[in-house]
Amino acid sequence: MEDASTNVTHAARLVQLLKIQGFSATEHMKSGSCNYIPSATEHMKSDSCNYIPSRWTVDGKPHESRVEASLACRLVLSSQKLETSQECSAAGIFSYPGECCQDLVFLRRRDELEGYLKDDTLTIQCAIAVLKPLPVPRIPAEEVPVPSSNLHQHLGEILQSKMGSDVTFLVCQESFHAHKNILAARSPVSKAQFFGEMEEKSSRHVEIMDMEPEELGAMLHFIYTDTIPELEKQEEASTVMAQHLLAAADRYGDRLKLICEAKLSGGITVDTAATTLALAQQHNCSRLKAKCVKFIVSTPEVLDAVLATEGYKHLEASCPLVLTELLKSAHGRNAEA
């Protein structure tokens, strides 16, 4: 198979006679000092005055692409028949003005010029050809509509259909079928649980004691689809779900944990502030903790209202150290006021 990277259609060709008058004077010049100009755009230079001019360059404006050219030279006899010597040729590719091509050397001694010199004039026939490549056709790029990824939908369907499941979670007498490979890919804890040295490695049934069925179902849905529809609702139940999932997320996935934090941070109320603060303290959610503290001590009225909630009683029992931070924050707020 041929590599057709460039298509050549035809060549622009120029044949011209170059007459060098006073040729004998070149014998006394230094090497490289003899310049002969056969046309307005092609130069020939002699490497030595004992040689016929042998090096050629291309002049002109910079080219957008490389130019391929060839040069063929013959000495012309002084007779009227215009007989020529053996042709000497070279070709080159030029990228910028002044770039040189390979040497042309076809006579080396003075005595070889006998018959070609007349009245101390040497005539050289130069044939220059420049190849013109076809421009590469450009096909306008057309935007092909690409649908959004539906991988999450396919994985969600696998979860719902239970197809190929190899592990069953038992929560409050309810069963949830899942796939160890998918769980391990999405959760470091699950990876250690099913492919490490834990007891569940070969087990097909895992009982979970510290979650409700709704929470486990939502967490599995997130693992397979990366979405939690329950948290997208603007209802109190979605805040409660986020509180419950935060504990599970602390063990099973950083992204789920951040989603729960974001949900709880945007919905702090008098009724939820203390409970959410306790969760933030227990699961190392520093930003959520700071927001809860800021909300609770925002005004004396809000502080009194939070202290009267059942959530505050749970906070006192489970996280007594955080009460000191609350007191310091409240004292600082009062000092500023």
High-pLDDT (> 90) share of the chain, %: 30
Has residue 322 got a pLDDT over 60?
A: yes
| Beta pairing class for 121-133 and 167-171 | unpaired
- Mean per-residue pLDDT over the chain, rounded: 77
Burial class (CB in 10 A: 0-12, 13-18, 19+), 324: exposed
- Classify domain 151-256 at the CATH topology level: Potassium Channel Kv1.1; Chain A (3.30.710)
Residue 219: which residues within 8 A CB-CB, separation 6 or more? 211, 245, 248, 249, 252, 256
148 vs 66, which has greater pLDDT?
Answer: 148
CATH level 2 (architecture), domain 268-337: Alpha Horseshoe (1.25)
pLDDT at 43 over 60: no
CA distance 188 to 304: 42
Under CATH, what is the fold of the domain 8-132? 2.60.210
Q: Give the residue, 134 or 248, on which the prediction is more confident.
A: 248
**First vs last C-alpha separation in the chain:** 86
Tens digit of each residue's pLDDT (9 = 90 or more) over 283-317 = 999 999 999 999 999 988 999 999 999 999 999 89
Residue 41 pLDDT exceeds 50:
no
Of the pLDDT bands very low, low, confident and very high (cuts 50, 70, 90), residue 23 is confident
pTM of this structure? 0.57
Instruction: Locate 75 and state its tokens.
Output: 């000495």
Q: Is there a contact between 252 and 224 (Cβ–Cβ < 8 Å)?
A: no
What are the boundaries of each domain within the chain?
8-132, 151-256, 268-337
Residue 188: the pLDDT is 87
